[in-house]
Amino acid sequence: MKFTGHTMALRPYIVGNWKMNGTRAMLAEARAIGRVASRYPDIDVGLAPPFTLLHPMVEAVPELEVGGQDCHASVSGAFTGDISAAMLADAGARFTIVGHSERRQFHGEGNEEVRGKAEAALAADLSVILCVGETEVERDSGHAEAVVSAQLDGSLPRGQGAAAKLAIAYEPVWAIGTGRVPQVSDVAAMHRAIRAKLLAVYGEAGAGVRILYGGSVNAGNAAELLAVDEVAGALVGGASLVAESFAAIINAANMLHDA
Ligand code: PEP
């Protein structure tokens, strides 16, 4: 059993983010992932398909935790093209990702908006995976931890019980979809800094928040990344689209958990 730096065992959490990929033909892949997930009862496995596949996936693969990739901060209203947290929950979602760097970059989402989305999701009884991470320029100039700390200050949801349904995904922007991953020592340092921030904001409840690593996780590097202190799981993009490679990541999490 792997213990984190805060001497608390957290259930490993492996989540796939399909981004804007997948039509109903891909449900076969989700079923294959579901079969793998059911072999590992000690690992939490989630999949975030495009909105159009949410409900079909919930119906087709009940053994998977299915979630959204984003939600709006409002419950309803004149927001063409947006989806509220209550709608995600109604479709059968159990969680949503918020603050993904592609939302921040391509949709101009700032920390305050991300916090609003996270709080709306919690109010709809969804769990939240809140993404943070620095750009390459920010890392190279030595500001990575300050940037992530500021993102957390601005976007962490507040309120009673927020920490209990929260996970953080540390995703260096320059590592997403690039095949590049940070040094293990940099991942460890950032995850320690995130844990310290969570404890400062939430008190002891901050010890139970899972901190995932995301950015070019694949079958080949998962074991090394998941073994890092304070890494409680992974948010996986490209490698989650193919059941075989996603299965290898789930398997790596299970081997570490059993070790
Ligand atoms: C992501 O988008 O959350 C991600 C980590 O993508 P990839 O695994 O493809 O780098």
The residues annotated as belonging to the active site are 100, 171
> Nearest to residue 156, comparing CAs of 124, 194, 126?
194
Count of positions (residues) in the chain: 259
For residue 147 and ligand 1, the question of a CB distance below 6 A is answered with no
1 has pLDDT over 60: no
Task: Give the closest residue (by CA) to ligand 1 atom 6.
Answer: 237
d(CA 178, ligand 1 centre) in Å: 9
Domain ranges (residues) in the chain = 7-36+44-231
The residue written with tokens 């990929």 in the block is 21
Query: What are 218-241's pLDDT values in tens digits?
Result: 999 999 999 999 999 999 999 999
**Phi, psi values for residue 215, rounded to 5°:** 135, 95
**Percent of the chain clearing pLDDT 70 (strictly above):** 97
* pLDDT tens-digit series, residues 93-123: 999 999 999 999 999 999 999 999 999 999 9
Closest Cα to atom 7, ligand 1: which residue? 237
Query: Average pLDDT, stretch 199-215?
Result: 97
Residue 258's pLDDT is what?
Answer: 81
- What's the pLDDT at 53? 98
Q: Kindly give the number of the ligand 1 atom that is closest to the alpha carbon of 176.
A: 10
* Mutate-to-test residue for ligand 1 from 171, 218, 221, 226, highest number of ligand atoms within 8 A of CB: 171
Q: Reply yes or no on whether the pLDDT at 168 is more than 90.
A: yes
Question: 190 CB contacts (<8 Å, ≥6 apart)?
Answer: 144, 145, 148, 170, 182
Task: Please count the helices (runs of H) and the strands (runs of E) in the chain.
Answer: 10, 8
C-beta of 214 in contact with ligand 1 (< 6 A): yes
pLDDT tier at 259 (50, 70, 90 boundaries)?
Answer: confident
Cα 17 to ligand 1 centre (Å)? 7
**How far, in Å, CA of 115 to CA of 157, rounded?**
5
CB 49 within 8 A of CB 57: yes
Name the pTM for this structure: 0.96
Residue having the nearest C-alpha atom to atom 2 of ligand 1: 237
* Cβ(83) – ligand 1 distance below 6 Å: no
Phi, psi (rounded to 5 degrees) for 176: -80, 120
Pocket flag, ligand 1, residue 215 (CB < 6 Å): yes
212 lines ligand 1 (CB under 6 A): no
Q: What is the pLDDT of residue 8?
A: 54
Question: Measured from the CB, is residue 99 less than 6 Å from ligand 1?
Answer: no
Structure tokens at 155: 């976007």
The ligand 1 atom nearest the CA atom of 131? 3
Integer CA distances (angstroms), 3 to 13, 77, 211, 254, 259, in order: 14, 45, 13, 14, 11
Tell me the CATH number of domain 7-36+44-231, given options 3.20.20.70, 3.30.460.80, 3.40.50.410, 3.30.565.10: 3.20.20.70
Q: Dig out the tokens for 233 from the structure.
A: 């799981």
Pocket lining: 17 vs ligand 1, CB cutoff 6 Å: yes
Distance from C-alpha of 81 to C-alpha of 74, rounded to nearest angstrom: 13
